[in-house]
Structure 1
């Protein structure tokens, strides 16, 4: 059965105002960390949500919100087939839109998940702020440093609840690790090594997805609108589906994965910004990528350094962080976080299992929509993190060391 894409219309009941009114008097200065048991929203408290960007990640985030009690009432995407697929996955009840401004006209939507390609993040986010919506903005925050700064300004002006999808911030294990660091358990941190290694030697799944005509039919995609602010180019299934690896639309692995790994490194050290950044690597296997499939960046942060490696040609090392202090080491490898004393590398002194960060992150957002408290991953913090990632890409592309003045937000 075909479904007509409709224009957004204002609804009689303004639920967003109701949610705000019930939250009046709530203090906004405390930092809420929803990392405990998952609480399902009551039927009379349901948050009505829309999604802009109906790809795999956007649908996953909306599905998480739905499992936690939110009602998904509207979806928007330029790809009609992906829109149909997302609508079906989410229960088949959401209205469909091709133009995000039409969805934003509705005043019965309390909150949004924004998850289009990165080059659209800025414009859609700004429009959402102007429309008075609360937003779960998928990472990476921005396509450029300048765009991120404008997004922060818009969020501060709108005074909306904003959660950036750097979901490590909702990992209870990372809050425990941060507390251990503050208590001096590993001494002074001098080096952080973080990595994400995946085996895509048999091919890029996004490229394969783009060749599936049941999901990517050029006759069912508004290609001009997909390009949006990006340069005009003819339709390409690789660009439509594997957009993460093209500079026009994204920053490749350093921003897509770095938004998580660099976030943890900067959080654990209270780092505002690196002083200088270098990067090297290349496209060694996935030859249709413009961005590197193996890349390493080193950040000098004044009293310590961060080394981040992301490799999509071999998955042997998996995913992890190692935080080296003068008295001990924190090691996260795949499913646990451990502390080792400097004189005993065999047996950890403390070990924490890792919770479901993604679900906890969405729970925190939904909680904050109702309480109006700050989220675990506020936009100003996420901007600092993604700025470091953008600096790494600039260093890689210019093949030089980049020096950064965080106070002036300017290159040296």
Structure 2
């Protein structure tokens, strides 16, 4: 139970504490202490009606106690001044507003791009340092230093904990959208709480900037994929699009995603998130127009220059009936450290009757897979490819365009 609360509430609790304390390290320490207290008390006393509010109130009180113990309360009292009742459990509206402020703080242009992404994944998404390190393909110690530098920069530069003024929002939006999508991609791999958090932040951004087509495009993209969340896994096993039980799709969320896409296009949106959302919408049709999807991926490749997009375009070309052309595209990509490169290549080789090469590619993908569901899926594919009677199967493609941060630590 507490693990579920941690995943659901970490970003909310830290956001409230950063806004209260103006200090990332103190906020994280206080949040961790509050969760430790909850682990002791809740099994005996029961879970409170408002777990997030209880955690925030407890963490705030512990933070103030710690400041008093350090004999610095007098110097910080003006920072902690609060109206009567400030220690009561805060409501959802307050916490939601503070998460948006925390997001813009983490994505401030004074921070380097890799620091922006890492700090957001830690503070807003609640990922552990070792999880973020794996995503960036660096050591945990390197990531600890990167996070520490980002926090120190915020303190030294006096970066405000606030949503920027309206005239500054357009210049800040690109980075924020990229980071929100990275959080969603992390959640897409199995952490539904992170995916929900990303969708919530995406919706908040469209409310903050209602005339920005890319904000609506990102919300559409995430919502359409998120509508399939209950069908993407059978138990703990990954289920590909062609094999999903559509009765488990959230049709209201799918409709909301398509409505957001319509809004983005009405605003003249033709950017990367709008194109990705259009692809996702087509993939959710009962009859999928793969040639049209391949054409949209070509447009997306022109916008991004990303080899991952080219990989997805190749998958669409294969689905449209030309696996040989798809393999020629894949073999020209420099994605050796990317597991979906090898699993896609393996499926193309299998379709073309090159079973030995397909097995080798599946083994390589299996060695790079990051999650247990993906490893089990690839192990089954490897076993099936031993039989020449395996029926054609869907090529594994990523959820639309995944930024290359998984390989290099950079967004684009």
| Superposition TM-score tier, normalisation by shorter sequence | under 0.3
More helix by share: 2
Structure with higher RCO (Cα < 8 A, 6+ apart): 1
More strand by share: 1
TM-score by length of 1: 0.25
TM-score by length of 2: 0.25
Which has the greater radius of gyration? 2
